[in-house]
Amino acid sequence: MDPLWITIAFFCGFLIRQLGLPPLVGFLAAGFILNALGVSGGDMLQKVADLGVTLLLFTIGLKLKVRDLLEPVVWAGTTLHMVVTIALMSLVFVGFAQFNLALFADLAPASVVLVAFALSFSSTVFAVKVLEDKGEMSSMHGRAAVGMLIMQDVLAVLFLTASSGKVPSPWALVVVTGLLLLRPYLFRIMDRCDHGELVILYGFFLALVVGAKSFDAVAMKADLGALLIGMLIANHPKSKEMAKSLMGFKEIFLVGFFLSIGLAGIPTWQTLGAATLLALAIPLKAAAYFLLLCRFRLRPRSSLLASFSLANYSEFGLIVAAVGVNNGWLDRQWLTVMALALSLTFVMASPLNSLAHGVYMRFRERLARFEVAGRHPDDLVGVGLVNVAIFGMGRIGSGAYDFMTERCGTNVVGVDLNENVVQQQRESGRNVMLGDATDPDFWDLLKTRDGLARLELVMLAMPKHRANLFAAEQLRKAGFSGTIAAIAMYDDQLEELRRAGVDSAFNFYAEAGNGFAEHVYEQALRSGVLPGVCQVPS
């Protein structure tokens, strides 16, 4: 990428981050600034952007379970929302046309439906980024949102295929079948990749060659191939390691994607006005998501958080608009309108998602009216009368659980928001319950059932600092007087945790070194072979 692009992108992202917004908003602004300076994206930037989206869908596939897509809330909810959104948006556009508003008044009835269809999609890039940053990809609302986004992507691919007049090659079925048959061999290769650069390179090979190129060769969407291959190897033990290894590359390439959106066209007052009107219609879209998710028996909190992450327009809207322009269905100005509307909704949705938990806490009594009888079986909170509770049952939480049960012989419960983790932990013989430490309802239920009265120690071992911080604050607000311990990655986070009421905060990188040395020392002491510099305890 050009040094000018990198410079402007960095400083825009940095400044926006200081305002508490995600850097991606700054990257969009950087694209518009570069556009104003007369800079064009070119093939290189487009390739970088495409690579970022392809890697994004591949990493989504690595975390996606097929059965999640088969849930009614995903396939039926997505279809119903798309129908409702197209109907509502079409009525809104007809209303705009009655007032002779620019661009809207010239839309033919078929073009009205096309634009409404383009606006019915939500951004996979934005939603996944927000959910990953908050550590909520595995939560009920995270899985519901991602599942609906994947279904939207599938519908978008079907539209693009139909509108282009291209029919998938007769070899398409052979390619898909071949990938399914290759799965055991892909697993074997993954087993022999060890760790490090080979895992990263194998991830690129799977996403860009095995998935994307094979689909592209038979006239199917390349990104869909990357998604499918990711799903095929999602159950491999190293899939999480691969996803983490590719994260940095994905983030860098996605910068190119956001820059390319800003470079899509030069804004005018007319296109900015039309985009603003489209952005103001976002509450209708979010409300439709919320009501539908509630009807599918998700709790109001899960429905609200999922709706907030989906309260935006999608990059696929730009693609649909481009198809309309190329086929003569839309004026070229609609490309700029869609790019501006997309950017505005990102700016609107960023603080909304940052404040999502606070919004729910403030309005949860009113939102509770929308809850239907019979809660979704996966949307539960788990509680128990125990002495020690460990939140976050990853490697650190599992190690802490085993230590407390073996060394202390106390009554311990683990809590995790990922149902797959909960199931695996239970199969390993651990007492683990499904629960979300960032859910105010969880703490209310714990307090109501006197769960806090029995608790003496709470250990916060969740991977996201904000989740640990929120849990500590909720515990102290609920009147918990026992000991709270938490992990962090950086020293400034340790201080934040202490201010939130945490008694013992540990930098787990530093503590890992101490634990390693202590383990070696104890082993050497038992074997009677201590290094000469070590002091033998009296």
pLDDT of residue 157: 67
Q: Which amino acid is at 507?
A: N
- Which residues on adjacent β-strands are paired with residue 434? 416
pLDDT of residue 98: 85
pLDDT in tens, 329-387: 888 788 788 888 888 898 888 888 888 888 888 898 899 888 887 666 555 555 455 78
Written as six digits, the tokens of 14 are: 């940095």
Q: Which residue has the tokens 């002495």?
A: 387
- The pTM assigned to this predicted structure is 0.72
Interval 157-168 mean pLDDT: 66
Give the chain's end-to-end CA distance (angstroms, integer): 63
pLDDT of residue 529: 57
What's the rounded Cα separation, in Å, for the pair 436 and 442? 7
Interval 215-233 mean pLDDT: 84
Helices 315-326 and 109-119: angle between axes, nearest 10 degrees: 160
What's the rounded Cα separation, in Å, for the pair 486 and 489? 11
Task: Give the residue among 183, 168, 167, 253 at the shortest CA–CA distance from 215.
Answer: 168
CATH number of this structure's domain 388-527: 3.40.50.720
Written as six digits, the tokens of 368 are: 């509770």
Written as six digits, the tokens of 538 are: 């009296």
Residue 83: Cβ within 10 Å count: 12
Residue 389 is classified by DSSP as: E
What's the rounded Cα separation, in Å, for the pair 56 and 62? 10
Task: Give the residue among 230, 170, 184 at the shortest CA–CA distance from 203.
Answer: 230
The burial of 313, by beta-carbon neighbours within 10 Å (0-12 exposed, 13-18 middle, 19 or more buried), is given as buried
Q: Which residue has the tokens 């606070």?
A: 358
Written as six digits, the tokens of 335 are: 């490309």
Residue 449 pLDDT level (bands cut at 50, 70, 90) = low
Residue 72: Cβ within 10 Å count: 10
pLDDT of residue 282: 93
> What percentage of the chain carries pLDDT values higher than 70?
87
Residue 454: Cβ within 10 Å count: 15
Written as six digits, the tokens of 280 are: 């103001």
- Which residues on adjacent β-strands are paired with residue 487? 506
pLDDT in tens, 101-129: 878 888 888 889 999 999 999 988 788 87
| Boundaries of every domain in the chain | 3-370, 388-527
pLDDT in tens, 468-504: 888 888 888 877 888 899 988 888 888 888 888 888 8
C-alpha separations of 375 from 2, 33, 299, 303, 360 in Å: 52, 48, 7, 12, 18
pLDDT of residue 21: 67
Written as six digits, the tokens of 8 are: 């402007």
Task: Give the residue among 466, 255, 250 at the shortest CA–CA distance from 358.
Answer: 466
Q: Determine phi and psi for 200, rounding to 5 degrees.
A: -65, -50
Written as six digits, the tokens of 91 are: 């009525």
- Which residues on adjacent β-strands are paired with residue 433? 415
Task: Give the residue among 453, 494, 454, 450 at the shortest CA–CA distance from 472.
Answer: 494
Average pLDDT value over all residues in the chain: 82
For residues 144 and 170, the model is more confident at 144
Does 3-370 carry CATH code 3.40.640.10?
A: no
Q: Determine phi and psi for 486, rounding to 5 degrees.
A: -150, 155
SS3 169: coil
What's the rounded Cα separation, in Å, for the pair 87 and 47? 35
Percentages (nearest 5) of helix, strand, coil residues in the chain:
70, 5, 25
Per-residue pLDDT at 82 exceeds 90: yes
CA quadruple 90, 94, 95, 98: dihedral, nearest 10? 170
pLDDT of residue 303: 92
pLDDT of residue 450: 58
